[in-house]
Structure 1
Amino acid sequence: MAEWEYIITNYSYMGLFFILILGIVGLPIPDEVLLTFVGYYIFLEKMDFWPSIGCAIIGSIVGISISYLIGKYLGSAFLKKYGPKFFITEKKTDWVQAKFNNYGPLFLISGYFIPGVRHVTAYVAGMSTYHFGKFACFAYIGAVVWASTFIFLGHYLGGKWTEVEVFFSHTTRYVWGFIALIAISAIFIRLKKKKSI
């Protein structure tokens, strides 16, 4: 808690913005815990709701776009050389590549909810020469849903926001991926049904 309180107290919205960029590009920052803490600060009325949401979403969008561009222009050779320094292993990249090939747009959205995977998804999209417009459409929707979800969660939990950190430490990325894919798939199915009516 102390590190997030220091960053948010001293750097406020700009601190949130830049930390999310760095976390999504690949630094080992527990972004979900940070966002939940911001929601807690909104609960305490130490931060305002809309500026917090705005900075979180824009920071996420900038970070995921940088990751895509790194993947597109520097490619797999760059990731193999420098990826392990940011906990981006070849095994993790291969896992994301397989899921990306199978689910594409769904994985761009749901990947945000899988710790340690969201930035790799963007690298893989870039390396796969996935069209930027299509990437942006789904990845930016994911940024809005992801950032808003954890800020709302922190606000809802109030003083119990630290339970999120404990929960994340005991939850594997596979469980999160399964939950996220089910949730996003349900949304797409519902939208398709509405269109067909």
Structure 2
Amino acid sequence: MIYVFQGTQGYVFLLVLMIGEGLGLPIPSEIIMPLVGYYSFLNQLNLVLGIIIGTLGSLVGSVIAYIIGLKLGYPFLSKYGKYLFIDNARLMRLHNWFLKYGDIAVFSFRFVPEFRALISYPAGVAQMRIIRFLVFTVLGHSIWDVILSLLGYHYANQINYIITLAEKFGIYALAVTIILIIIYVILRIIKK
């Protein structure tokens, strides 16, 4: 079995992943934090330290996103948000939610997978006070990360079973995926 979060480099890897998640990149905390619990169950990570580092990473990413929104504003995000995986429709929905609900949006959206990291951008655009932003962000990230990590710890045996199946059948899935991609490309070429 491959231990992704093993030793000191595991904590660094966790921090980097969660910073990316906090920025809104397609790095799901819904997978990362249960793995913290799983690797804690295997004694590869300390559960409490893993939760703290994961939450710190999310917080750093969220603060960077907040600063981007604060300093560069809505026009920048509208024009260049696609490079941060933020389309205009999603940005407008978040902006409207933030204008309507303010602080509570920053806290409650931390529990909505698609929008949890992206709410930091409109908070910055709206110039939410940084202390209020930090309080609601830390609370939201902490609760989310603790719950996901504890679920990973509690269901470690089931996760181990899934990992064993993935290792066993992963090569077959990879082969089928490659064949399907080749067939798709050939059909596209023939269609043109």
TM-score bucket of the superposed structures, by smaller chain: 0.7 to 0.9
Residue type of the alignment partner of 2:58: S
Structure 1: runs of 5 or more not aligned: 164-197
1:52 corresponds to which of 50, 53, 57? 50
RMSD: 2.2
Residue type of the alignment partner of 1:9: Q
| 2:139 pairs with 1:141 | yes
In structure 2, the residue matched to 1:79 is: 77
Residue type of the alignment partner of 1:64: S
Q: What is the TM-score of this pair, normalised by structure 2?
A: 0.76
| 2:90 pairs with 1:116 | no
For the Cα contact (< 8 Å) 2:14–2:54, is it kept in 1?
A: yes
For the Cα contact (< 8 Å) 2:78–2:91, is it kept in 1?
A: no
Structure 2: runs of 5 or more not aligned: 162-192
- 1:38-58 CA-partner distances (Å, limit 9, x unpaired): 111111222111211111121
**SS of the residue 1:23 aligns to:** helix
**SS of the residue 1:119 aligns to:** coil
In structure 2, the residue matched to 1:151 is: 149
CA distance in 1, matches of 2:149, 2:122: 27
CA distance in 2, matches of 1:110, 1:152: 20
In structure 2, the residue matched to 1:70 is: 68
In structure 1, the residue matched to 2:127 is: 129
Q: Spell out the pairing of 1:1-197 with structure 2 (5 A cutoff).
A: 5-6=3-4, 8-9=5-6, 11-161=9-159
**SS of the residue 1:21 aligns to:** helix
Deviation at 1:98, TM superposition (A): 2.1
* Identity among equivalent pairs (%): 31
**SS of the residue 2:27 aligns to:** coil
Q: How many residues align?
A: 161
- 1:68-125 CA-partner distances (Å, limit 9, x unpaired): 1110001112212221123201110111122222322222122122223122211000
In structure 2, the residue matched to 1:173 is: none
**SS of the residue 1:118 aligns to:** coil
Deviation at 1:9, TM superposition (A): 3.1
For the Cα contact (< 8 Å) 1:24–1:119, is it kept in 2?
A: yes
